[in-house]
Structure formats: C-alpha cells, structure tokens
Amino acid sequence: MDPDSGESAANWLARATDAEIADVLWTYGEEKLSRKIARTIVARRDDTPLLRTAQLADLIASVVGRGDSKIHPATRSFQAIRIFINRELVDLELGLDAAFARLKPGGRLVVISFHSLEDRIVKRFIAAHAKAPPGNRRMPVERDFTATMADVSGALRADYAETSVNPRARSAVMRVAEKLPLEAAA
C-alpha cells in the first residue's frame, strides 16, 4: 500500500509465470477466466511490456469480453493483483490479531470490509473467538473452549438511503464484536 516500497504490479506481471498470475487472479479475484487471462498476459508481455493500467485493462477486456455489465471486465483482475501486491489479506489478519491483543475487556472491535474475501476473514476471526469449533464425529473427546469475544452484530450492510448518497457503501459489510471480561473467558 506504500507505492515507494515493495515490488510494483508492473514488475510482478513482467516476471511472474502464467501459473502464478492465474493463481493470484483466481485466489484474490475469483476470476473464472484466470488461466486464459494469465496466458494472454505472458504471451503479450513478450511483445510489449505492460507499463500502463489501460494496457492491462484492454488486454483483459479482450479476453473476457465487455458483455452488458456496468462493471469493467478487468475489475476482478485488478482487485486480485492489488490485494496480492499489497499483501492486504495477510495484513488484515495481522491487524485483527493486533487489535484483539490491545482490546480491553468490554471493548468493541468494529471492522468494515469491502469485498467477500476480507469479510470472510473477519467473520472467521470473530467466530474463532466467539464460538466453539464444530464437533468431529471421529474425535469423541470434546476440546475445551472458552469464548473470548461475543459477536455483537453479525453482518450489517448499508441500506438504500445510504447507498443512494454513497454508492461505494453498496459493497461494505460491518461486523462488531466485543471482547469478553477475563472472568467470563475463564
């Protein structure tokens, strides 16, 4: 997220294999045509290096097609590359752990995520602290579990009034959890 540190997306795209690119597009962008896009990027970069976002967007649009969607066909791919290059999901997990460690009993953790990958991590983090893991019929011994958080809200989404004045809120999901007092956790 710091443009002056780490590898740029252009440099990564210039050196990554088609398998690496496809894995990033699939894992972080849930792009169905990830393999085809990756093969096209690798084939095209040998002729012309991808130095501008418009070049990459046009290349992806040529593979995916425009369709009738209002969303550009390269959106998922750009999201995937950004998340990978910036280590956004790794940093989110580290941030959640750090926030939980610093939170005082009774304190609330509020997280707003903007896409399903982030929300899934937040949801699982809260569940891991609030709910006992599901039982396993192959392991008859129950493991001890003590909740250290309470899920306060579940998923909260913006209503129509909010999204009409703030269209970016349409994908936002807010989750709230409260750290339990030590005696409740003991």
Q: Is the pLDDT of residue 112 over 70?
A: yes
Domains of the chain: residue spans and CATH: 9-86 (1.10.150.170), 88-185 (3.40.50.150)
What are 167's two structure tokens?
């269209």
Alpha carbons 153 and 178: distance in angstroms, whole number: 10
Q: Could you tell me which residues come within 8 angstroms of residue 114 by beta carbon, excluding any fewer than 6 positions away?
A: 171, 172, 173
> Across residues 82-103, what is the average pLDDT?
95
Q: Is the pLDDT of residue 113 over 90?
A: yes
Alpha carbons 112 and 122: distance in angstroms, whole number: 9
Q: Is the pLDDT of residue 102 over 60?
A: yes
Percent of the chain at pLDDT above 70? Answer: 94
pLDDT in tens, 125-184: 999 999 987 777 777 666 788 899 999 989 999 999 999 999 889 889 999 999 999 765
Q: Is the pLDDT of residue 43 over 90?
A: yes
Average pLDDT of the residues of the chain: 89
> Across residues 11-27, what is the average pLDDT?
95
Helices (H), the chain: 9-15, 18-29, 34-47, 53-64, 75-86, 88-102, 116-130, 160-165, 182-185
Most confident residue range from 20-29, 61-70, 127-136, 137-146? 20-29
> Across residues 53-57, what is the average pLDDT?
93
CB 114 within 8 A of CB 172: yes
DSSP 61-107: HHHH--TT-SS-TTHHHHHHHHHHHHTHHHHHHHHHHHHHHHPPTT-
Q: Could you tell me which residues come within 8 angstroms of residue 51 by beta carbon, excluding any fewer than 6 positions away?
A: 10
> What's the confidence (pLDDT) of residue 138?
74
> What's the confidence (pLDDT) of residue 165?
95
**Residue of 85 and 133 predicted with greater confidence:** 85
Q: Is the pLDDT of residue 1 over 60?
A: no
Alpha carbons 20 and 4: distance in angstroms, whole number: 23
Strand partners of residue 173? 113, 157
End-to-end CA distance of the chain: 39
> What's the confidence (pLDDT) of residue 2?
64
Structural Rg of the chain based on CA atoms: 21
